[in-house]
Chain A
């Protein structure tokens, strides 16, 4: 080593040792924590999903998730995977199909709103919604989650299909608060018009797309878990 330099420059070996060593340690730690928490997280996710499905399909006692496969209808989801187009089927105590819970999203007042809604085959109506994610203004837009009169719209929101089964007989329509006359209309909220209309619009769009599809593949959902 040269005596003139107070600190000799590090050899390449030291640089590699540091980076690789720290990298390996960090990798081990991350993977261990990931594997350790994964069962807990998946269990909690499944429980939360089931709670949500039971909320939007009041008659359901058990549920199962299905993924839409291109050209093949719906197949049961094997892992606890997310992404892609997933719907959740609800079954009563006897294992009979009650309805399907579908996710919908659309732009609200402040940001995108995500909801889960339950479609009941017997009633041909939406029988419940649950807001999954919303950043609407507290006290105003967030009334879509709390206003009882607004939520009453979704106890039985008519989304019956037309004769040919390819589209909705009556599109979901948002009206002024109190002006609701038909079962496919949604009473708005005073002071939160845009948020309420957004919900009605996204339900209408999603229902137009999914319900004819779901009805066409009813057989795929018959088997309960």
Chain B
């Protein structure tokens, strides 16, 4: 039902309506992981991967539930499938590429309760995207998340070296930074039109 071109979906999801900076999704890992550049980029990679997998599953479930006429099961099935898929992915990666598993290791379970994944599934269902559009949307959302994460990490690493009043240290400062980044990203609006 949508006439959005694919490039517009990508730009929309990654820049104009960035999942973290415009929708506030994925704040927990965003604030928790973004103080070192290296871990931030690894986390971002893991998120992109999980988002692609979850997006496909969510599309599949939506088709199934529509055929079964059971829309009320949507939320439960999304959560169940996302959680088990991440578990499965973790096991597969561990077997196939142990080095990659060690690098990503602790982040994969963290991502499961990440609201960004469930948010992605819900948004794409509400927008009525087909499979290809879902994948592009997931890619865009994940890339946008990674971009925001990496930018935050860079900024926070620099801030570590400066004198900051105690009362604002920690989460409050991260939130102010995020707010400033959010305003910066507003400059991308109008790109998709």
Q: A106-B3, A111-B12, A111-B16 are in contact. Are A194 and B72 (CB under 8 A)?
A: no
Which interface class (under 10, 10 to 19, 20 to 34, 35 or more) fits B? 10 to 19
Minimum distance in angstroms from A67 CB to a CB of chain B: 13
Chain B, 59-99, CB within 8 A of any chain A CB: 72-73, 76
Asked if B12 and A205 make an inter-chain contact with CB atoms under 8 angstroms apart, the answer reads no
Tell me whether A109 is interfacial, beta carbon within 8 Å: yes
Contact indicator B1/A83 (Cβ below 8 Å): yes
Majority DSSP secondary structure for residues of A touching B: mixed
One of B41-49, B102-110, B152-160, B185-193 at the interface = B185-193
A204 to chain B, nearest CB (A): 12
- Check if A107 sits within 8 Å of B12, measured CB to CB: yes
**A137, B193: Cα distance in complex, Å:** 14
Is B2 in contact with chain A by the CB < 8 A criterion?
yes
The 8 A CB mask of A193-222 against B (1 = contact, 0 = none) is 010011000000100000000000000000
Kindly state the separation between the CA atoms of A85 and B189 in the bound complex, as whole angstroms: 29
Q: With A30-B73, A83-B128 known to touch, is A109 a contact of B189 (CB < 8 Å)?
A: yes
CB-CB under 8 A from A84, the residues of chain B are 1
A108 interface hit (Cβ, 8 Å): yes
Tell me the complex Cα distance, A194–B192, Å. 10
- Closest CB-CB distance, B22 to chain A, in whole Å? 9
Does residue B8 face the partner (Cβ distance < 8 Å to A)?
yes
Which residues does chain B contribute within 8 Å of A111, judged by CB atoms? 12, 16-17
Of all chain B residues, which has the CB nearest A198? B193
Mask: chain B, 112-140; 1 = CB below 8 Å from A; 0 = not: 00000000000000011000000000000
Binding site for A on B (CB under 8 A): 1-4, 8, 12, 16-17, 72-73, 76, 127-128, 189-190, 192-193
